[in-house]
Amino acid sequence: MADTKQAGPIRCVVVTPEQTSLDTRARSVILPLFDGLRGVGHGHAPFIGRLGAGEVRIVGEQGGPADATRRLFVDGGFVEVAHDAVTVITQRAIPAEKLDAQSARADLERITASKATGDEAIDARLQAEQSARALVRTATRGR
Protein backbone atom coordinates (compact mmCIF):
# COMPACT_ATOMS: atom_id res chain seq x y z
CA MET A 1 0.00 0.00 0.00
CA ALA A 2 1.23 3.48 -0.81
CA ASP A 3 1.99 6.01 1.88
CA THR A 4 -1.35 7.83 2.19
CA LYS A 5 0.38 10.80 3.84
CA GLN A 6 1.88 11.84 0.50
CA ALA A 7 0.51 15.07 -0.94
CA GLY A 8 -2.37 15.00 -3.35
CA PRO A 9 -5.79 13.44 -3.51
CA ILE A 10 -6.88 10.45 -5.51
CA ARG A 11 -10.00 10.32 -7.64
CA CYS A 12 -12.60 7.69 -6.78
CA VAL A 13 -15.31 6.78 -9.29
CA VAL A 14 -17.98 4.14 -8.60
CA VAL A 15 -19.98 2.99 -11.64
CA THR A 16 -23.02 0.70 -11.86
CA PRO A 17 -24.87 -0.34 -15.03
CA GLU A 18 -27.46 2.37 -14.34
CA GLN A 19 -25.28 5.33 -13.38
CA THR A 20 -22.11 6.81 -11.99
CA SER A 21 -22.87 6.44 -8.28
CA LEU A 22 -19.93 8.47 -7.03
CA ASP A 23 -17.19 10.67 -8.46
CA THR A 24 -15.10 12.37 -5.79
CA ARG A 25 -11.56 13.02 -4.58
CA ALA A 26 -10.22 11.55 -1.35
CA ARG A 27 -7.08 10.91 0.66
CA SER A 28 -7.42 7.11 0.45
CA VAL A 29 -9.82 4.32 -0.53
CA ILE A 30 -10.18 0.89 1.13
CA LEU A 31 -11.54 -1.81 -1.18
CA PRO A 32 -13.10 -5.24 -0.45
CA LEU A 33 -11.22 -7.45 -2.89
CA PHE A 34 -12.42 -11.06 -3.20
CA ASP A 35 -9.42 -12.20 -1.14
CA GLY A 36 -9.21 -9.41 1.46
CA LEU A 37 -9.09 -5.66 1.96
CA ARG A 38 -6.71 -3.41 0.05
CA GLY A 39 -5.99 0.25 0.69
CA VAL A 40 -5.09 2.69 -2.06
CA GLY A 41 -3.51 6.10 -1.64
CA HIS A 42 -1.73 8.73 -3.70
CA GLY A 43 1.04 7.18 -5.80
CA HIS A 44 -0.22 3.59 -5.50
CA ALA A 45 1.05 1.15 -8.12
CA PRO A 46 -1.45 0.38 -10.89
CA PHE A 47 -3.48 -2.83 -10.63
CA ILE A 48 -6.77 -4.42 -11.65
CA GLY A 49 -8.60 -6.51 -9.07
CA ARG A 50 -11.78 -8.50 -8.57
CA LEU A 51 -14.05 -7.15 -5.85
CA GLY A 52 -15.96 -9.21 -3.35
CA ALA A 53 -19.13 -8.13 -1.60
CA GLY A 54 -18.37 -5.61 1.11
CA GLU A 55 -17.71 -2.06 2.11
CA VAL A 56 -15.77 0.54 0.11
CA ARG A 57 -14.46 3.25 2.43
CA ILE A 58 -13.49 6.64 1.04
CA VAL A 59 -11.36 8.46 3.61
CA GLY A 60 -10.86 12.22 3.68
CA GLU A 61 -13.32 13.04 0.92
CA GLN A 62 -12.73 16.42 -0.71
CA GLY A 63 -14.97 19.11 0.75
CA GLY A 64 -15.38 17.25 4.06
CA PRO A 65 -13.34 16.89 7.24
CA ALA A 66 -9.90 15.35 6.68
CA ASP A 67 -10.76 12.19 8.62
CA ALA A 68 -14.39 11.82 7.50
CA THR A 69 -15.19 8.47 5.90
CA ARG A 70 -17.84 7.79 3.29
CA ARG A 71 -18.99 4.16 3.10
CA LEU A 72 -20.67 2.24 0.27
CA PHE A 73 -21.77 -1.37 -0.03
CA VAL A 74 -20.69 -3.00 -3.30
CA ASP A 75 -21.72 -6.45 -4.47
CA GLY A 76 -18.66 -7.68 -6.36
CA GLY A 77 -17.28 -6.30 -9.59
CA PHE A 78 -13.87 -5.01 -10.58
CA VAL A 79 -11.53 -2.19 -9.62
CA GLU A 80 -8.84 -0.46 -11.64
CA VAL A 81 -6.18 1.66 -9.97
CA ALA A 82 -4.02 3.85 -12.20
CA HIS A 83 -2.65 7.42 -12.22
CA ASP A 84 -4.04 8.34 -8.78
CA ALA A 85 -7.53 7.19 -9.77
CA VAL A 86 -9.65 4.33 -8.43
CA THR A 87 -12.46 3.13 -10.71
CA VAL A 88 -14.94 0.67 -9.22
CA ILE A 89 -17.27 -1.17 -11.61
CA THR A 90 -20.02 -3.06 -9.80
CA GLN A 91 -23.58 -4.32 -10.24
CA ARG A 92 -24.76 -2.67 -7.03
CA ALA A 93 -23.46 0.28 -4.98
CA ILE A 94 -25.52 1.49 -2.01
CA PRO A 95 -24.47 4.28 0.38
CA ALA A 96 -24.19 2.82 3.90
CA GLU A 97 -26.58 5.40 5.33
CA LYS A 98 -29.34 4.11 3.03
CA LEU A 99 -29.02 0.50 4.23
CA ASP A 100 -31.64 -0.94 6.58
CA ALA A 101 -29.92 -3.28 9.05
CA GLN A 102 -33.16 -4.99 10.08
CA SER A 103 -34.12 -5.73 6.48
CA ALA A 104 -30.58 -6.94 5.73
CA ARG A 105 -30.71 -9.35 8.70
CA ALA A 106 -34.11 -10.66 7.58
CA ASP A 107 -32.75 -11.30 4.06
CA LEU A 108 -29.75 -13.14 5.52
CA GLU A 109 -32.01 -15.33 7.68
CA ARG A 110 -34.20 -16.13 4.66
CA ILE A 111 -31.17 -17.08 2.54
CA THR A 112 -29.61 -19.13 5.36
CA ALA A 113 -32.87 -21.06 5.85
CA SER A 114 -33.25 -21.85 2.15
CA LYS A 115 -32.26 -25.24 0.75
CA ALA A 116 -30.33 -25.84 -2.46
CA THR A 117 -29.69 -29.01 -4.43
CA GLY A 118 -27.17 -29.43 -7.19
CA ASP A 119 -23.78 -27.81 -7.56
CA GLU A 120 -24.98 -24.66 -9.33
CA ALA A 121 -27.81 -24.03 -6.88
CA ILE A 122 -25.50 -24.60 -3.90
CA ASP A 123 -22.89 -22.21 -5.33
CA ALA A 124 -25.56 -19.56 -5.97
CA ARG A 125 -26.92 -19.92 -2.42
CA LEU A 126 -23.43 -19.66 -0.89
CA GLN A 127 -22.69 -16.57 -2.98
CA ALA A 128 -26.01 -14.98 -1.94
CA GLU A 129 -25.29 -15.77 1.71
CA GLN A 130 -21.81 -14.26 1.51
CA SER A 131 -23.22 -11.09 -0.07
CA ALA A 132 -26.02 -10.88 2.53
CA ARG A 133 -23.50 -11.22 5.39
CA ALA A 134 -21.38 -8.40 3.91
CA LEU A 135 -24.50 -6.25 3.57
CA VAL A 136 -25.39 -6.83 7.24
CA ARG A 137 -21.82 -5.93 8.30
CA THR A 138 -21.91 -2.71 6.29
CA ALA A 139 -25.40 -1.79 7.53
CA THR A 140 -24.50 -2.30 11.20
CA ARG A 141 -20.97 -0.84 11.23
CA GLY A 142 -20.73 2.53 12.88
CA ARG A 143 -24.20 2.45 14.46
Q: Tens of pLDDT along 84-121?
A: 999 999 999 999 999 999 999 999 999 999 998 899 99
State in words which class domain 10-96 has: mainly beta
- Predicted TM-score (pTM) of the model is 0.83
- Angle, vertex CA 111, rays to CA 106 and CA 115, nearest 5: 145
pLDDT level of residue 68 (50, 70, 90 thresholds): confident
Whether the Cβ atoms of residue 72 and residue 14 lie closer than 8 Å to each other? yes
Say if strands 10-15 and 85-89 run parallel, antiparallel, or are unpaired.
Answer: parallel
Domain residue spans of the chain: 10-96, 99-140
Q: Is it the case that residue 2 has pLDDT exceeding 70?
A: no
Give the mean pLDDT of 15-40: 94
